[in-house]
Amino acid sequence: MTARPFRKMHGLGNDFVVVDAREQPFAPSAAQAAAIADRRRGVGCDQLIVLEPAEPGDRADLFMRIFNADGSEAEACGNATRCVASLLFAEGREAVAIRTLGGLLPCTPAENGLVTADLGPARLDWREVPLAREMDTLRLDYAKGPLAEPVALSLGNPHVVFFVADPAAVALETLGPAIEHDPLFPRRTNVQIVQVVSRTHLRQRIWERGAGLTQASGSGGCAAQVAAVRRGLTERRARVEQPGGELIVEWREADGHVLMTGPVATAFCGMLDGSLLG
């Protein structure tokens, strides 16, 4: 495979290697994706993002393929969606729609260079998460160490949300992978550890499926807010504080869609050497 240009981007430190394959196909294997994501031997990222043409007749502007750092594919990624939307805005588009395995994600520019992504309706049924068996997703009968009774939901990708007094006190580097790979979650799961600071402020740490501890997660922030509203802990709109910064998340009452607003940034551009892709 020949060398390919890429752009290194991030949303609140949740970082991506973005390859534009709309004109020249790029189909990395799981092993190649993991090699690119390797922070010592590759470029390093939480996810590799490949931009592909939308299917004929699809109203999407493009299809965004998402590879986790371990090479597995993800259905959705909120921060990457905002980053890719910003690239389309730079091409002169005012509102865009990005297709992922998890669905169509409309995006619009917001004030001060921020981007708003519509992650669609939260999926709350146990079959939609999915779980291995029928359970009440508002309060799962599930515990791992000191963590218990999470909220489960999907935003195109699966999440469990645990509410705690102090996220920093949770050994997420140990508990995260154990929960991610628990048989209750047949597609594995993202793990959110959340503190309710006030009715308009959440504080969160993230274990991302296939990537591990991350500085931020767009869909994770949305999952935290939806879970908090379901439990009656916050208003419909709140700021979600993550290690890398803050998102504004609204679970819109009118249609159930989850809107996330936050910053995007480009760190640098470069070339993926052919030896890395060989």
Catalytic-role residue among 45, 77, 107, 222: 77
Is 112 annotated for ligand binding? no
Is 47 annotated in some ligand binding site? Answer: yes
In angstroms, the CA 59 to CA 81 distance is 16
Residue 45 appears among annotated catalytic residues: no
Rg (CA), the chain: 18
Q: CA 21 to CA 121: how far, in whole Å?
A: 29
Tokens in use for 217?
């997660």
DSSP SS3 for 12:
coil
- 208 carries a ligand binding annotation: yes
Place of tokens 């480009």: 266
14 belongs to an annotated ligand binding site = yes
Confirm whether residue 256 is marked as ligand binding: no
Q: In sequence order, which residues have a C-beta less than 8 Å from that of residue 223 and are 6 or more positions away?
A: 122, 153, 155, 159, 161, 190, 192
Tell me if 78 is assigned to a ligand binding site: yes
Contact, 209 vs 190, CB < 8 A? yes
Whether 79 has a binding-site annotation, put simply, is: yes
Give the residue ranges of DSSP H helices in the chain.
30-37, 78-90, 172-180, 218-230, 274-277
> Can you say which residues are annotated as belonging to the binding site for substrate?
14, 47, 68, 78-79, 157, 190, 208-209, 218-219
Could you list the active site residues?
77
Specify binding-site residues. Answer: 14, 47, 68, 78-79, 157, 190, 208-209, 218-219
